[in-house]
Structure 1
């Protein structure tokens, strides 16, 4: 074979014969529109209410939300920029750049998103004044109760009671991002626009989330077939 390569007798790229398994990760379309509305209502008194709104409306990742700075948010013109994320690196919380060009994006703030962030900003200023000298300002939109970067796993303390309240006890926080993608596509938003909102590097990821049918949808489909050939 080596001689054949040297003699340029190989007529096709043998590397194309190698089958690299595609990465597998759990895909879930998240919750439906009704439960999304219930979550917004149920989280009204939660200090992270605005975080849930941004996740449902803009499909932001947890690391993007926790790394978001007020300097990245323009409430006057109505947009925010995703520049950095909060990640645990070598056991320490660090701010790192958005992982891809698609992840680094500008998102619109309209309607509830904009108004909720205004109220969140006012609430945070009050929280900082109450904390006094213990407040450490890092310009973060969603910091800990003393202004420092929030431990990502601590988000569960807020999310777990809320998901139980809306009857979604097995739903992961990340599934709310999938919820945004599914709801936007259901509304007829073009896939390439949804991809840019969610920050997917490939539109195939966007459509994979949408194509992941729920058990109820599968059951309804088989019922139709049963009515046709049963």
Structure 2
């Protein structure tokens, strides 16, 4: 593609020929800068943009683009809770700070200032990183669609998350919680059942809430995770697990098998007791045969798991920083302390990346290292100390 620069008045212009359009030769000419060098640089950049099919959006603001990305791409390709989370970030952080800027004029300084302003509100590093991730993802797609030449997020330092240290329960604390429940009362019984299942399997709240009887193989002690019952923006949805790795198969003990069998008997008796008034749970246009239900058959709201667990901790004066979700971490920590390898734990928890597992449980890993070194020391030195 041919082009050049020339001086007109006090400024330098670049131009290049784009061929014949509609039977006429077409030439593009723009201001390139105050010097010949600036104009030549602008010429090279303009030709590259044109050859790669870049089309500069006319009057498209950041807000308009992000809303379009959210409604037409994210909503169709991501889970509903992801859509709602992204929508909240766009409405609360992105639009108020840079929504009025033309997308073609968006620069790294705008993104950096946005993150600084949000940081002034006291937002955590994790929250700031989430904002950055949403912007980066949206702008990467703009580049793919050739409405942006490059992604300004690439020139902004990604905020760092605070190091996460998992909170866990001790075995004694867990038994203290179980002992506080009166299993003669259905509400206490079902929560005791939930706690025992989660501590062995490490299931997420939504995975357990969405578990159906067809997902359980009692002959082979296997359960399959296919559902995720989630609460997002005032509504409960039945979705698939959050990642492909979340769809997994887990082995459970004979102890848990007996719990499932007992619970099936109790649930069947409740169906007879309530008869036509036994509630049917309809999601995605089908009746779901949930394992975890109230006595009348209705599913347990995902928020209940968290609220009930918090009330128990407060009543027993236990560590209130431990969340229901931390029962997963308790499960993993117990497995690690028993010598189970990280890969097995990753697969059981449904982590898509083993680094997630390694990072969360690094504190347990250090204890394992200490034990390994002590064993090695005893082997190499016959239990004798090298110190004098």
TM-score normalised over the length of structure 2: 0.48
Larger Rg: 2
Structure-1 residue corresponding to 2:262: 119
TM-score normalised over the length of structure 1: 0.77
Q: Distance in 1 between matches of 2:321 and 2:274?
A: 35
Q: Distance in 1 between matches of 2:181 and 2:338?
A: 24
Structure-1 residue corresponding to 2:337: 186
After TM superposition, where is structure 1 displaced by more than 3 Å over at least 4 residues in a row?
1-7, 14-19, 21-27, 37-44
Q: Distance in 2 between matches of 1:106 and 1:136?
A: 29
**Partner of 1:162: helix, strand, or coil?**
helix
What runs of 5+ residues in structure 2 fail to find an aligned partner? 1-40, 49-151, 281-287, 368-388
Matched, 1:195 2:356: no
Structure-2 residue corresponding to 1:53: 196
- Between structures 1 and 2, the one with greater strand share: 2
Contact 2:165 2:360 in 1 (8 A): yes
Indicate how the Cα distance of structure 1 residues 161 and 90 shifts in structure 2: closer, same or farther if over 3 A, else same. closer
Indicate how the Cα distance of structure 1 residues 24 and 127 shifts in structure 2: closer, same or farther if over 3 A, else same. farther
Bigger mean CA offset, 84-93 vs 110-119: 84-93
Q: Distance in 2 between matches of 1:52 and 1:64?
A: 13
Count how many residue pairs are aligned between Structure 1 and Structure 2: 208
What runs of 5+ residues in structure 1 fail to find an aligned partner? 8-13, 218-230
> What do you get for the CA RMSD once the two structures are aligned?
2.9
Structure-2 residue corresponding to 1:63: 206
**Partner of 1:31: helix, strand, or coil?**
coil
Shift of 1:75: 1.1
* 1:23-79 Cα shifts (integer Å, max 9, x gaps): 568642311222233334444612232211121111100000100000101112111
Shift of 1:17: 6.4
Structure-1 residue corresponding to 2:248: 105
Shift of 1:118: 1.4
Indicate how the Cα distance of structure 1 residues 5 and 34 shifts in structure 2: closer, same or farther if over 3 A, else same. farther
Shift of 1:115: 1.5
Counterpart mapping for 1:1-230 below 5 A: 3=44, 19-21=157-159, 27-43=165-181, 45=183, 46=188, 47-89=190-232, 91-137=234-280, 138-156=288-306, 158-163=308-313, 164-165=315-316, 167-212=318-363
Contact 2:200 2:252 in 1 (8 A): no
Q: Distance in 1 between matches of 2:160 and 2:153?
A: 16
